[in-house]
Structure 1
Amino acid sequence: MIGLEVSGGIWKATINRPEKANSLTAAMLTELAEIAERAGHEGARALVLTGAGRVFSAGADLEEAHAGLATNPVWERLSGAIAALPCLTIAALNGTVAGGAMGMVLACDLRVMVAGGKVFYPVMKLGFLPQPSDVPRLRSLVGPSRAAMILMAGQKITAEEAMSWGLIDRVVDAEALPDTVHALAADSVGASPAHATAIKRMIWA
């Protein structure tokens, strides 16, 4: 349920379970983590995460969440692998992102969302804690009060509002998403790997 396309140095991983709003199982999370780890070892120039259909991901598969997936270390393995990549990482959000799926999105360098998408992380309502690295990443992007709006007040934030907060970097029409992501990756893909890595380390130092 995870598709992978590799072309011109760009690795694109697609969550492909649209009939279940791309909700994530442990096996899917493991596969995504393995892709991110391979991308680092095999010289990917950019990693793009996206989804099939109209939703990026509804978060954890609820049956698996209640069976222990909500506290599985695979979430941190995935977000850590993305954050550790020396190349540019882009979340190409084809629709709403919710719950634990926020972790991989927050770990990316850039986040592009289609108009009409929303962001929410209903951990307060569901009785789960957010993944440990998600909170500092979210807070660094939007500040503590807006992080509380999402995590404690359970607000659903529109793509446009999320961009005004700094959580989303660009909002585009759905048909423009692929071209926008490709254009954003072009300079990094065209640079030498060492140069791209050096600049990324300066940004996130």
Structure 2
Amino acid sequence: MRLDIVITGVGGQGNVLASRILARAAMEWGLPVRTSEAIGMAQREGVVMSQVRMGEGSYGAIIPDGGADILLGFELAETVRGLPKLKPGGLVIANRHTIFPVSVSLGLSQYEPEQMVSYLENSTARYHLLDATALATEAGTYKCTNIVMLGALASLGVLPYDAEHLKQVMLAFIPAKLRDVNLKAFQYGQQALGGV
């Protein structure tokens, strides 16, 4: 099995950690893995895109436009921006939460979340929207948004390994004092899309 996943969001959302957890889970499952990250402006709230390629036949770390099986969007505008990476019939899992860019805060541009949702709905047939940030906050901290998103992804049965394996790998990455809140966040993500 080969699976190409693009994770997109902004700095500070745990995008890179999520990609490393997915990659480690694949490696421990015995699959070859390649990853890459593009970090915009290298600052909190700058654009971040990670790519995880797992399975045989991945010859480079960069997923070409139109090649991703899954787009995991941690922020709504960045999900829309990442759509060109998705292959026809690909799956989108998007966080409804919005983080306004500086240009919007300064009144230089507009950010229309409902238009973005509409565009997303019209651009792909396979998508799931959830408020992962609200679920993370309910679990204990908004900083677990990335783990909620991983739980949601795991619940759909599209990964080459099962949800329990991903959960155990995630827990091994997390410091002991933060495991309970992250475990809860993972479970909330699973429940949001009909899992456990």
TM-score, normalization: structure 2? 0.36
